[in-house]
Amino acid sequence: MSADPTVPTKPLADTASGAAARVRDRTVGRSSSPSATTADGPPPSDGGTRRRLSAVAPALVTYVLLRLVGLIVLWIFAHRAGADFWSLLHSRYDSLWYAQIAEQGYDQSLDNVGPDGKPRLPNLPFFPLYPGLTAGVAAVTPFSIPVSALVVSWVAGLAAAWGIYAVGVQLASRRVALLLVALWAVLPHAVVQNMAYTETLFTALVAWTLYALLRRRWLTAGVLCLIAGFSRPTASALIAAVGLAALVAVVRRQDGWRPWAAGLLAPLGYLGYLAWIGQRLGRADAYFHMQSTTWKIGFDGGVDTFATFRQVLTKAVPLSYYTATLLMALAVLLVVLLALDRYPLPVVVYSLAFLVLTVGTEEYYWAKGRYLVPAFALLLPVAVALGRARLRTRILVLGLLALISAWYGTYLSLIWTYSP
């Protein structure tokens, strides 16, 4: 019988290495708990919705309160600047592309003309899950497309917080899980979690996929990863995590046919969208060709990133460049700590692959901090360390981070003139 997603199957030590060691075998090897099962079984009979909601309520309340701090600060400064608060959340940059797709669908070719009669970039690089959900909400509610997009993002934020909490409980303890949610809510780019962007929806899918892997619920993990493949191209990092975990289980002859199914299901959403673009544009490599020729973006192994990094060290650049540099450096350190602390294979593989994609993608250096928002697992070592601190220290640290996040979110929304 599967365990409640917010209640560990057995008490876990409040340390990273101890937690990771206990979960590692259960993830891709032997079960370390008599109550752990091979997944996809019936729902728990000793819990129910009320119990699960009661267990996760502190995490959801914490998440909402911390994000409200950021939004209230943004509203105050937007009001003083004469800017429309809601437009800052749903009608800027990528948000406009998703709204256009939700309203008008995808372009038929790479040659398109905007409302002003001038050529514009094709909207095909934007994956369909978020605009599809936005259109669905708009179809069944009186909300406009922009408001529906925010509804999707905000509901996804709660789902992501719940999933992050479940992963934290599974790997460590409720205290660490709560801190993990709080840290994710006060990231420098956390304002994006409340905007009409895809990072929050993708994070929710990642969190619940990783949780399913940790519980060896192979079919659930495969299906969720398939859906995530329709959300963002960085789903390839999650596909790698599911695929490698499934491969290890197959080699060890565990859980029968389920790991095979998970490994086969995981890439279907991502590959399906690439195939659809190929069919629409008439060439097998259409997606990557479009990215390199029209949007001027692709994977160069980090050449462009390191070239920009050298400029950051030698020239005066905007604040967002310094922030991106700091966050990428911290991400490198944290992924090393994840590996050294022996966290479960899927967690390490996803985090490492996601970091490689972030650093290795050319252009948009300033946005790499936003790209890292779905990599919440990198925060595990920080959550564990903070969990050992005194309550007063935890409150002071989270309070300071909340203020920094609110200030930087306001900067990205009101002063920075490009996509956050």
pLDDT digits (tens, 9 = 90+) for 101-121: 999 999 988 887 777 777 889
Share of the chain above pLDDT 70, in %: 89
| pLDDT average, residue stretch 71-86 | 97
pLDDT digits (tens, 9 = 90+) for 33-74: 323 344 454 444 445 678 888 899 999 999 999 999 999 999
- Within 8 A by CB and 6+ apart from 141, the residues are 148, 151
> Looking at the domain assignment, is residue 303 inside a domain?
yes
The CA distance from 75 to 406, in Å, is: 10
Per the structure block, which two tokens stand in for 8? 């560990």
pLDDT digits (tens, 9 = 90+) for 254-286: 999 999 999 999 999 999 999 999 999 999 999
How many residues would you count in the chain?
A: 420
Structural contact between residues 137 and 143, judged by C-beta atoms closer than 8 angstroms? yes
Share of the chain above pLDDT 90, in %: 83
pLDDT, residue 119, reads 83
Give the amino acid at 253. Answer: R
pLDDT, residue 251, reads 96
Give the amino acid at 155. Answer: V
pTM: 0.89
What is residue 366's three-state secondary structure? helix
> Looking at the domain assignment, is residue 219 inside a domain?
yes
> Looking at the domain assignment, is residue 330 inside a domain?
yes
pLDDT digits (tens, 9 = 90+) for 295-312: 989 999 999 999 999 999
End-to-end, the C-alpha distance of the chain in Å comes to 44
Structural contact between residues 51 and 3, judged by C-beta atoms closer than 8 angstroms? no
Q: Which residues pair with 112 in a beta bridge?
A: 120
> Looking at the domain assignment, is residue 8 inside a domain?
no
> Looking at the domain assignment, is residue 41 inside a domain?
no
Structural domain that includes position 152: 16-35+56-414
If you write DSSP's letter for every residue of 219-258 in order, what string do you get?
Answer: HHHHHHHHHHTTT-TTHHHHHHHHHHHHHHHHHTT-STTH
Bridge-based pairing state of the strands 119-120 and 112-113: antiparallel
> Looking at the domain assignment, is residue 338 inside a domain?
yes
pLDDT digits (tens, 9 = 90+) for 308-356: 999 999 999 999 999 999 999 999 999 999 999 999 999 999 999 999 9
> Looking at the domain assignment, is residue 4 inside a domain?
no
pLDDT digits (tens, 9 = 90+) for 129-159: 999 999 999 999 999 999 999 999 999 999 9
If you write DSSP's letter for every residue of 16-27 in order, what string do you get?
Answer: HHHHHHHHHHHH
> Looking at the domain assignment, is residue 158 inside a domain?
yes
Number of domains into which the chain is organized = 1
The CA distance from 71 to 337, in Å, is: 32
**E-strand spans in 99-195?**
112-113, 119-120
pLDDT, residue 48, reads 67
Which residue in 381, 378, 373, 368 sits closest to 405, CA to CA? 373
If you write DSSP's letter for every residue of 130-141 in order, what string do you get?
Answer: HHHHHHHHHHHS
